[in-house]
Amino acid sequence: MKKKRANGEGSIRKRKDGRWEGRCTAGHDPEMGKAVYLELATGLRRGELPGLKWEDVNLERGNRPVRRQISRINSDVVEAPLKTKNAYRTLPLAEDTISVLKEQRRKVGSSPWVFPSPNGGSIFPDSVLHMLHRVLKQAGLLRVRFHDLRHTFATLALQNEVDIKTVSGMLGHFSAGFTLDTYAHVTSAAQRQAAGKMAAVLSGAV
């Protein structure tokens, strides 16, 4: 499926492994583009992304602790504890991600939040989802869940031979076994590829 529109262009499809792939030019909403980039680079939960403060980010060392999430209690948007003790983690930041964050820092000025709301406070997770859907619609792309971005991060990491324990730790899962069960389709494909490689090696030794 491919569409072109006045505000952008893009294409997206769902692969057999369940991962969405495609591209989107969203110059009309660069802040959302930065949020999506950071999500695909780190695999945060939906409430963890808006909970990111500049005090958490160490651009010199290239890492950021995950310390809080944003949730709604009654009608109030508040900082809340993370789901489990394993959700408290420190994520490495690649050079490109650091560059994106530096640009965002210049844009938001003195705000303590990396992605502030229009009134200067924390943005609500549902607002992030609505912005994502708006950008996808304007670009002529299929609607996806915000959680699909987290799944794509994990799938890409595993397909590029990042070990399951490392991926589990970055996702904040309570165990590597849970991650293995969740992404069994990805690890099974990797195992078949490994078997093929070993067959090629062994056939040359016979």
Domain coverage including residue 30:
2-145
Task: Check residues 122 and 202 and name the one with the higher pLDDT.
Answer: 122
Query: Does residue 124 lie within any of the structural domains?
Result: yes
- The confidence score (pLDDT) of residue 193 equals 63
The number of distinct structural domains making up the chain is 1
Can you tell me the distance from the alpha carbon of 148 to that of 124, in angstroms, rounded to the nearest whole number?
Answer: 18
Decide if 55 is inside a domain.
Answer: yes
Q: Considering the domain boundaries, does residue 172 fall inside one?
A: no
- Asked if the structure places residue 100 within a domain, the reply is yes
108 belongs to a structural domain = yes
Q: What is the pLDDT of residue 188?
A: 66
Q: State residue 67's pLDDT score.
A: 93
CA 206 to chain centre: 45
Q: What is the pTM of this model?
A: 0.75
Residue of 197, 187, 132 lying closest to 155 (CA atoms):
187
Per-residue confidence (pLDDT) for residue 196, from 0 to 100: 64
Predicted confidence (pLDDT) per residue in 132-191, tens digit: 888 788 778 788 888 888 988 998 888 888 999 999 999 999 999 889 888 877 766 655
CA atoms in the 13 A half-sphere facing the CB of 171? 28
Residue 40 belongs to a domain: yes
Is 196 part of any domain?
A: no
CATH code assigned at 47: 1.10.443.10
> Domain for residue 151, yes or no?
no
Q: What single-letter amino acid sits at 71?
A: S
Sign of CA dihedral 27, 129, 66, 69: positive
Residue 192: pLDDT over 50 = yes
pLDDT tens per residue, range 36-73 = 889 989 999 989 999 999 999 999 999 999 999 998 88
